[in-house]
A and B are shown apart, each in its own frame.
Chain A
Amino acid sequence: MVHITKRKEMPVVQALAVRLGAILLALVVCGIVTTITTGLNPIDVYVTMIKGAFGTQRKIWILLQEIAILLCVALALTPAFRMKFWNLGGEGQILAGSLASAACMICLGDKIPNAALIALMLVTSVVAGAVWAGVPAAAKARWNTNETLFTLMMNYVATQLVAYFVIVWEVPKGSGNIGIINQATEAGWLPQIGSSKYLLNIVLVAILTVFMYLYLAYSKHGYEISVVGESASTARYVGIKVDRVIVRTLLLSGAVCGFAGFLLVAGTNHTLTTTIAGGRGFTAVMVAWLANFNPLVMVASSFLLVFMGQGAGEISTIYGLNHSFGDILTGIILFFIIGCEFFISYQVHFSKKEGGHDA
């Protein structure tokens, strides 16, 4: 007979050991699956994955840049999630920010000084993202609508809007693509620090991470967010205006998503497509949950997910495997990582069914 009981609290070191054990176990299972399905040596596959992520200096920069953007989106979702407002509209909010940035670049590219253009792009992106999240938040505060559905549907609206503008601005006509914006003048492109194109993105997100950590853990706003998330009636009892906190927090959440959109357009891609967000609005949900909504731990969880993604891409190219194979491995690893949380919160006892008889 199996009994499951809730643990009191596992020491941090022990919990960390369980998580590391889970990752090791996941790698073993992945190895077995790899050998059975492809006949390849799993060690080789893992080495290839690591090479895919860290193999060259360029790959390392790409890895860091990907981590930065994913982390940025996860940071954006966190305040909302801490409030138990399930913002699944990250995708749409990124797109709204990207669209605003691209619009500024295309329409004002050569008309105003570059610094003013970048500042304007930043402001409009942040505002666009905030509006995209603010609408469902206001509806939730006013009419208690379901935020999960509302934010999710806002994603489709954003995708269609971007699709429309891609056709409006397509270069050349009929191609269905915008191409690199302002390739010749580089107007609206984020300046490059030193030798790396991506360093500025990474630095900005690092600053944002520290800011978000302090905001959530030590600010009065952060405290209000925690109280509202835990119990709206406690919040009312102490005079916190719940509606106002919901809207304010979602404006912040959307604004940071919009900022991620700005980084993608101005810092990384210099173009606009309907898939520019690349599912990060959803992957970031996983990043935030895995880190238990702690911004500092999110650095690790976003690294893990990006590393898995880059590594999976590499093995599918090198061994000619379907890209889905990488997804299978990612799935197995996530299963173990999320599954081990159960063993951290609960304890499983095995006992003989006839245990009740002996005195």
Chain B
Amino acid sequence: MADRQLAVRMRGITKEFAGKVVANKDVDLDIYRGEVLALLGENGSGKTTLMNMLSGIYFPDSGSIEIDGKPVVIASPKDAFEHGIGMIHQHFKLVNVFTAAENIVLGLKGEGKFDLAAASERIRQICDAYGFDVDPNQKVYDMSVSQKQTVEIVKLLYRGADILILDEPTAVLTPQETDKLFAVLRNMRDDGKAIIIITHKLHEVQDISDRVVVLRKGEYVGEMLTAESTTQEMTNMMVGRQVSLNIDRPDVEMDYRMERIRVKNLTVKNADGVTKLDDVSFTAYTGEILGIAGISGSGQKELLEAIAGLQPVDSGSIEYVVDATGDHEEVEQLIGMDPVKIANMGVVLSFVPEDRLGMGLVGSMDLTDNMMLRSFRDGRSPFTDRNAPRHLAELVVDELEVNTPGVGTPVRRLSGGNVQKVLVGREIAAAPTVLLSAYAVRGLDVNSSYLIYDLLNRQKGNGVAVVYVGEDLDVLLELCDRILVLCGGKVSGIVDGRTTTKNEVGLMMTKLGGGEA
């Protein structure tokens, strides 16, 4: 395509943090109008940093940026905007109590009297032009994640952005919502806008992008045309060596498969009285990975926290089967227990929560202190023993290849993947019989993700009942033995991971299909 029009030309971009960590080194990048460019790379490869420099959040240490052939200085998000560059971040920046239209016009300086009706009209025009589905008068707090994202995109278009950067836009969307997003992105591309999408999901890269640029360790390593490449080639370039993209689902040979956690008619209301779980029943078995799928906020968090003794329950029962031989069965009720009581019953229940630094770990504490979060009460001494936790920390660092200067480093300073390794390492070290995990690979790169899948599979092989709450359906389908689908706090079905399809699960997530199982 010789006639394609260059929108952005970045040359020799270098950015260092704290004078030591090189986030980007001498990166050259061209972005064309009428093209969707996928920026691919592992965690810490500098994708987001590079885009943050284009959108004015960071300022490059050296290098130049040209927009439409003219050299520019982008020193602030305002500068970026004047050049038509807009970025959708992973965390939305919307005012909850405002309507879509109010959020879209917020902060704009207009001449004369402020006219919300006229603004709404223009918003409708933009929506019609690209196929967005936005009600300008809807309040943000009433919106789903996908609707909020749409508002963010419309906000940029309303302000005249024609170079759009999306940072992991599909992380929070269902497959159907993703399809919708991709449809409008294609419309925008065909309208001549330049679109850059940062993502880890290779099948989406294949689906939406025209060209792929790969970064590794802050450097540009190459690019390819999507139509002429496979996901395997992309992964190899990203990681720098040949990797296998298949997730194992080993069949566990066990003398007998036993029921481990039996949830019956569980109903949970949150502090505001809103029902988060409605009559949920299921059983988790030893030696299997039970997947839990659902749109985010469908009750996954409450379900795991109820089992872990962190969430008050309105009605129902959660039974832990200690032992079952023949007719005899020994059962403990988990409802009304807190984590300490559960542990004192001899139930080793590990939980990898969604919020790693806000719940699973203490960010300002070092690895050693984080290792003893669960065990610090051991022993009669009023003082803590840091020897055993230090050895555990060293072991986890060693075995899971945690990239850290040492066990005395605050975990906050580690990258997302390494933080997760520390958390999972601690939880697995307890030799659990039940392992609950929520979004265990969110934000992790290919290597770290596969390490986590492998760890979960090993736990399954040890006869642990693993519960895996996930958002990537491809992974759920490949990894899990059974998949429980939640929709609005209700179980819309439990399907076999080996036989179900992505479409079936996707529909069950939105309750359009799939009966009660």
Residues of A within 8 A of B341 (CB): 239
Contact A233-B362, Cβ < 8 Å, known A347-B18, A354-B73: no
Chain A residues within an 8 Å CB radius of B75 = 1, 353, 356
Complex Cα distance A336/B383, Å?
A: 38
> Could you mark each residue 371-396 of chain B with 1 if its beta carbon is under 8 Å from any beta carbon of chain A, else 0?
01110110000111000000000000
The answer to whether A357 touches B73, judged by C-beta atoms less than 8 angstroms apart, is yes
* Closest residue on chain A to residue B12 by CB atoms: A359
Which chain A residue shows the least CB distance to B357?
A: A231
Interface residues of A in 156-181 (CB under 8 A from B): none
The docked-state distance in angstroms from the alpha carbon of A356 to that of B79 is 13
**What residues on B are CB-neighbors of A231 within 8 Å?**
357-359, 362-363
Interface hit among A89-97, A222-230, A312-320:
A222-230
A59 to B363, CA, bound (A): 46
B362 x A239 contact (CB < 8 A):
no
Whether A236 is near chain B, meaning CB under 8 Å from some CB there, is yes
Q: Which of A14-22, A37-45, A103-111, A213-221 contacts B (4 or more CB under 8 A)?
A: A213-221
The complex places the Cα of A218 from the Cα of B71 at a distance, in Å, of 58
CB A355 to nearest CB in B, in angstroms, measures: 8
- Bound CA–CA A233/B413 (angstroms): 20
Whether the Cβ atoms of A238 and B19 lie closer than 8 Å is no
CB-nearest residue of chain A relative to B341? A239
CA gap between A353 and B60 in the complex, in Å: 12
Decide if A5 is an interface residue (CB 8 Å cutoff).
Answer: yes
Residues of A within 8 A of B73 (CB): 353-357
**Cβ B310 vs Cβ A237 within 8 A:** yes
Asked whether, in the complex, the Cβ of B71 is within 8 Å of the Cβ of A234, the reply is no
Chain A residues whose C-beta falls within 8 Å of the C-beta of B114 in the assembled complex = none
CB within 8 Å of B: which A220-261 residues:
220-224, 226-227, 230-231, 233-234, 236-239, 241
Cβ–Cβ contact B359 & A220, under 8 A: no
Q: Distance in Å from the Cβ of B229 to the closest Cβ of chain A?
A: 31
Does the CB pair A7–B384 fall under 8 Å?
A: no
- Complex contact A3–B63 (CB within 8 A): no
Are the C-beta atoms of A226 and B339 separated by less than 8 Å?
no
Task: Please name the residue on chain B nearest to A358 by beta carbon.
Answer: B64
A227 and B71 contact, Cβ closer than 8 Å, known pairs A234-B359, A238-B339: no
Total interface residues in chain B, CB < 8 Å:
48
Closest to B412 in A: A230
Known: A227-B373, A230-B363. A356 touches B71 (CB 8 A): yes
Q: Say whether A357 contacts B64, CB under 8 Å.
A: yes
Give min CB distance, A240 to chain B, whole Å.
Answer: 8
**Complex interface residues of chain B between 58 and 115 (CB less than 8 A to chain A):** 59-60, 62-65, 71-75
Structural contact, B362 and A3, CB atoms closer than 8 A:
no
A58 contacts chain B at the CB level, 8 A cutoff: no
Which residue on chain A has the smallest CB distance to residue B20?
A8
Residues of chain B with a CB closer than 8 A to A354's CB: 73
Q: Bound complex: CA of A241 vs CA of B339, how far in Å?
A: 10
B439 CB to closest chain A CB (Å) equals 15
Residue of B nearest to A351 (CB): B59
Q: Evaluate contact between A236 and B71: CB separation under 8 angstroms.
A: no
| Contact between B362 and A236, CB atoms less than 8 A apart | no
Q: Which of B311-360 contact A (CB under 8 A)?
A: 338-341, 343, 351, 353, 355, 357-360
Q: Check A8 against B362 for contact (C-beta < 8 Å).
A: no
A302 to B63, CA, bound (A): 49
Residue among A222, A237, A241 making CB contact with B351, cutoff 8 Å: A237
Flag whether A323 is at the interface (Cβ < 8 A).
Answer: no
Note all chain A residues with C-beta closer than 8 A to B353: 237
Evaluate contact between A237 and B363: CB separation under 8 angstroms. Answer: no
Closest CB of chain B to A317's CB: distance in Å? 46
CA of A222 to CA of B376, assembled, Å = 11
Q: Identify which of A218, A233, A351, A356 contacts B359 (C-beta below 8 A).
A: A233
Instruction: Tell me if A218 and B384 are in contact (CB < 8 A).
Output: yes
Asked if B382 and A239 make an inter-chain contact with CB atoms under 8 angstroms apart, the answer reads no
Instruction: Please name all residues of chain A whose beta carbon is closer than 8 Å to the beta carbon of B372 when the two chains form the complex.
Output: 223
Residues of A with C-beta under 8 A to B20: 8
Contact, CB under 8 Å: A359 / B64: yes
Residue B256 CB within 8 A of the other chain: no
B365 contacts the other chain (CB 8 A):
yes
Does B18 contact A220, Cβ atoms closer than 8 Å?
no
C-beta contact mask, B10-28 vs A, less than 8 Å → 1, else 0? 0110000111110000000
- Beta-carbon contact of A238 and B383 below 8 Å: no
**Docked complex Cα distance between A8 and B21 (Å):** 9
Question: Could you show 9 A-B contacts with beta carbons less than 8 Å apart?
Answer: A5-B18, A214-B383, A219-B383, A220-B377, A237-B353, A238-B339, A241-B338, A356-B64, A356-B65
The 5 closest A-B pairs by CB, nearest first: A239-B340, A239-B339, A356-B73, A8-B18, A230-B362
Beyond A237-B339, A239-B343: 13 further Cβ-contacts under 8 Å?
A: A1-B59, A7-B18, A218-B383, A220-B382, A231-B358, A233-B358, A234-B358, A234-B359, A234-B360, A353-B73, A356-B59, A356-B75, A357-B73
